[in-house]
Amino acid sequence: MANVHKSERFAIRSEADVVALRQQVRRWAAEINFSIVDQTKLVTAASELARNTVVYGGGGTALLELMHDSVRKGVRITFEDAGPGIPDIGLALRDGYTTGGGLGLGLGGAKRLVNEFAIDSHPGVGTRIVVARWK
């Protein structure tokens, strides 16, 4: 069971908000001595998911948490929006699938960059994605 050491909530409504979240994720990952590679993986996943929150979810929030348990430390980020939701999560996670004209690597790519990934989405209700990376 992980304990939350500190947390910060971000409004995610614009590219400037995405940048602010990226910067704080990097600071917190460095604070708990993530390697540069692990920092970059977490920041990349956070950036992709924050951008999705803006572009597809119409904006939302991100809750950044610094965690620890008896043997490790980590960063967890929970993204939430009240957008249109994802009708087929399995399809959305498949590489190459896109509704926005991109490369279709976003959700699946973000999932591969973190240690924990959970998604809950309902059409017409919104989406909640929780990711974590541990050291």
- Among 24, 53, 29, residue whose Cα is nearest residue 40: 29
Least confidently predicted of 46-50, 71-75, 81-85, 89-93: 89-93
**Residue 95 above 90 pLDDT?**
no
The predicted structure's pLDDT at residue 53? 94
Sign of CA dihedral 10, 18, 77, 90: positive
Contact between 29 and 42 under an 8 Å Cβ cutoff? The reply is yes
Q: Tell me the pLDDT tens digit for each residue of 8-56.
A: 999 999 999 999 999 999 999 999 999 999 999 999 999 999 999 999 9
**What is the average per-residue pLDDT within 85-99?**
74
Q: Tell me the pLDDT tens digit for each residue of 108-134.
A: 889 999 999 999 999 999 999 999 999
**What is the average per-residue pLDDT within 88-96?**
75
pTM equals 0.90
